[in-house]
Homo-oligomer: A and B are copies of this chain.
């Protein structure tokens, strides 16, 4: 049997991403030993029961000791504190990475704590579901998804190369980009859509003329699509919006402008503008499907049989 890619991998945080990484590492034989840390005793007990880690630790320091690869899988707002806590126990030559949806804030928070000889390579797998917790993970989560790495200009090339090989072994494609560009790209493809989904759920829930049970009963008319991403982990998303504040607020202004233009087109009955916009949207959907980033089955392939 070939030697694993890493002797020991430490997963700091064992929610959807951490547990999915454990499953795919097991399946692909990428780690000699998977050490996990979760802050809550309840999560640790659940992980022990599920058995996807070789050891589960109360203190992150114990998980990272001797690890060749350390992956921070905690909400982005917690990365700085965790990095500080584990700094003294990181092995020389280890690769330290994360999976956060915001990169500038993580780099700013984590970098000051990274000891000499440890290679910090920030990362972000563009993968997830609306579920969270250690029992929501599965090995196929990263298959055919993109993982973005945002190494500093002076990052260790070997470390970047090895982390790239790791994500490819997890089933992902890997891209490298600058930190700020990442935060703008994810701002539009992820943060703004989530923000808007949360906002429309709020509008619907507060409407006086329509009861909440009507909103729920007739949600298949479109609303339910928004509720899925608005069901994502609240703490994770609070951190994303607050740590990528500038990009999110900028994108929100652009969105509000576009929405006002659409509002005006409706008010004045500008049929051509509406049809042109709606036709263009169809085209973008088609390109997403062609790129293998969504299913072409109607209704996301939801079952209509029951």
Q: Are A281 and B201 in contact (CB under 8 A)?
A: yes
Contacts A190-B222, A228-B300, A235-B275 supplied; 15 other A-B pairs, CB < 8 Å: A126-B218, A129-B298, A186-B218, A195-B266, A196-B196, A197-B222, A201-B281, A216-B284, A219-B293, A220-B293, A225-B226, A238-B274, A238-B278, A248-B266, A301-B302
Complex CA–CA separation, A248 to B259 (angstroms): 12
In the complex, which of the residues A258, A284, A293, A295 has the most CB atoms of chain B within 10 Å of its own CB atom? A284
Known: A199-B259, A304-B143. A294 touches B184 (CB 8 A): no
A214/B185 in contact, CB under 8 A:
yes
A263 at the B interface (CB under 8 A)? yes
A249 to chain B, nearest CB (A): 6
A: contact size bracket: 35 or more
Q: State whether the Cβ of A153 lies closer than 8 Å to any Cβ in chain B.
A: no
| In contact, B190 and A274 (Cβ under 8 angstroms) | no
Check A207 for interface membership: any CB of B closer than 8 A: yes
Check if B205 sits within 8 Å of A284, measured CB to CB: yes
Q: Which of A215, A220, A254 has the most CB of B within 10 A?
A: A220
